Amino acid sequence: MSDRIFNFNAGPAVLPLEVLQEAQADFLNYKGTGMSITEISHRSKAYEEVNTQAEADTKELLGLGDDYRVLFLQGGASTQFAAIPMNFLPQGATADYILTGSWSEKALKEAQLLGNTHVAATTADGNYKRIPKMEEIKLSEKPAYVHLTSNNTIYGTEWQQFPTFGDAPLIADMSSDMLSRPFDATKFAMIYAGAQKNLGPAGVTLVILRQDMIERCPKNIPTMLRYDIHAKKDSLYNTPPAFSVYMVHLVLKWLKKNGGLTAMAERNQAKAKLVYDVIDAAPGFFSGHADKDSRSLMNVTFRLPSEDLEKQFVAEATAAGLGGLKGHRSVGGLRASIYNAMPQAGCQALADFMKEFQRKNG
C-alpha cells in the first residue's frame, strides 16, 4: 500500500500487511457472528476456537507436546519479572540471572524484592556489546531456575546458541525474537514474550510452561499471578485481551503459511545481512554497537560519527518513508528493528538509504 511506510520501530512494531488486512475484513462481523472480535464474549465458541487454535499453533511451530501449556496473559513481560520468582523461587532458594541488557536487569531487580538472587554472568562492563561465553557463566550451587533474555532490543545483541544447565530450569524472556528462528524449545522450562515486538499488538503476553513447573506453583500468592490457575482455566480465568490474542492467532497462521521458523530464519538472516553489510563496508562512518558474534537478527544498532549526523539521518529517513530509526536513549545512535513482519524490501530500502547518506555526508 503506497501510503504505508517501512516501520522500523522497536515495539509496538510492524505487523504483516496480510494479517492487518484479514483483521480489517473481519473486524465488523467476525465469522458471521454479526459482532466484532472486540465485542464477542470470551466464553463464546467463536472466541474459544481462537484461543485454542493459538495454543495449538504455538506448540506446533515450536515442536512442543502435551507436557507444555501455552497461556495468554496480561501485564506484559514486566509483570512476568515478578510472577516468575513468586511462583518458582521458594524461601531459602536462589534464582540465577544472566545479565545482557536493560530488560534482564529489570527482571533481576523484581526478583531481588522477593528472594535470594545470584548474577551468574554479566556483560555490563562493556555496555552490553556481547553475549557472555559459556565459560563466563558461574551458577549458584543449586539454582531454583536460571533466567536469560534471548534478544536485547536496546543493545542489538542476541544469543546465537542457548545454553543448558543440567537439571536447573531454564527460563527465557523472548519478547523480541520469539518465533524468529528454529530452536530447541524443550530446553526451556518456561518461555515468555510480550507480543508487541514480534507476535502481535500490545496487550497480551505469551507464556509457555512445562507441566512440572505448573505443578510447583504455590497456593499462597495472588490468584492472577498463579500460572496453575491460568492453565486450569485455559487462559480464561478472567476476561482476556481478546483482540490481541486474535491478532497473535492470525500471526501464527501467517507464520505457518510462510514456511514456519526455518523459512523465517532464512528470511531474517538475508534481511539483516543487507543492513550489516553496509555497516561493515564503511567502518569509519557506521559503527555497530554489538560485537559481530553477538549480533541480533531483530535489532540492528549502530552509530554515526556525530550526534548531529544521527539526528539528520533520522529526519531524512523519516521523510523517505523509513520510520522509527532513532536509537534507545540509553545507547543513543540508531536502531533498525527488522522483526519477522518487516519485508526484505524494507531492509533493501534502508540499506540503499544508508549508502546514499554516507556518500553525501561521509
The answer to whether 173 is a known catalytic residue is: yes
Q: Identify residue 228 by its one-letter amino acid code.
A: D
Burial of residue 343 (number of CB atoms within 10 Å: 0-12, 13-18, 19+): middle
Each residue's pLDDT tens digit, 93-151? 999 999 999 999 999 999 999 999 999 999 999 999 999 999 999 999 999 999 999 99
Please say if the pLDDT value at position 224 is more than 80: yes
User: pLDDT band for position 330 (50/70/90)?
Assistant: confident
* 231 φ, ψ (degrees, to nearest 5): -65, -45
pTM listed for this prediction: 0.97
* Catalytic residue selected from 96, 197, 271, 326: 197
Considering only CA atoms, give the Rg of the chain. 21
Alpha-carbon span 225 to 351, nearest angstrom: 44
Q: Check if the beta carbon of residue 176 is closer than 8 Å to that of residue 199.
A: no
pLDDT at 137: 98
Please say if the pLDDT value at position 331 is more than 90: no
Q: Could you confirm whether domain 260-361 is CATH 3.30.70.1140? A: no
Each residue's pLDDT tens digit, 16-33? 999 999 999 999 999 999
Q: Check if the beta carbon of residue 272 is closer than 8 Å to that of residue 342.
A: no
Residue 309, C-alpha cell as written in the block: 549526523
**How far, rounded to the nearest angstrom, does the alpha carbon of residue 185 sit from its chain's CA centroid?**
15
Please say if the pLDDT value at position 74 is more than 70: yes
pLDDT at 1: 57
Q: What is the mean pLDDT of the chain?
A: 97
Residues sharing a CB contact under 8 Å with residue 228, sequence separation 6 or more, in sequence order: 214, 215, 217
* Catalytic residue selected from 57, 96, 103, 326: 103
Residue 94 parent element (H or E): strand 94-99
23-257 CATH choice from 3.90.180.10, 3.40.640.10, 3.40.50.300, 3.40.47.10: 3.40.640.10
Please say if the pLDDT value at position 8 is more than 90: yes
Alpha-carbon span 253 to 105, nearest angstrom: 33
Residues sharing a CB contact under 8 Å with residue 263, sequence separation 6 or more, in sequence order: none
Region(s) of the chain under CATH 3.40.640.10: 23-257
Q: Check if the beta carbon of residue 230 is closer than 8 Å to that of residue 205.
A: no
Each residue's pLDDT tens digit, 234-255? 999 999 999 999 999 999 999 9
Q: In the chain, what percentage of residues exceed pLDDT 70? A: 100
* Catalytic residue selected from 57, 96, 173, 177: 173
Please say if the pLDDT value at position 196 is more than 70: yes
Each residue's pLDDT tens digit, 45-59? 999 999 999 999 999
